[in-house]
Structure 1
Amino acid sequence: MIKTRIASGEYKAGERIPSLVALIEEFGIANATGQKVMRALRADGLIHTEPGMGSFVTAPEDRDKAE
């Protein structure tokens, strides 16, 4: 669902996405599942995480650099 929101432009480049806790509450998923989702989004280059700040949508032109 987060991937869809990024692709649709609902979450724009540079925008902070909801926290892991917020995603767990919104989707009713387990903590481990939420962590897997965040890891997959980072692995796909769709988001990047800044310690102490949160996770942000990676600009399309910067996504290739993450691989």
Structure 2
Amino acid sequence: MSSIAKIIELSADSEKGFDDALHTGIIRANETLRNVRSVWVKDHEVLVEQGRPKVFRLHLKVTFLVE
């Protein structure tokens, strides 16, 4: 049997760091999507406030199988 995959883009933020942002993004994607198969980090950025890193943001591509 063949399968069809769909890819969506989302952003995940954390004030702790990129690892935490990735973990948050994966957990959140799994809460709203079924059959998540992969997550690709497309881009990353740091929002700065008063000269210090404030928010670590990842732009992700999430691949999941369509039922």
| TM-score for the superposition, normalised by structure 1 | 0.31
- Name the one with the larger helix percent: 1
Highest RCO, 1 vs 2 (Cα 8 Å, sep ≥ 6): 2
| TM-score for the superposition, normalised by structure 2 | 0.31
Point out the structure with max Rg over C-alpha. Answer: 2
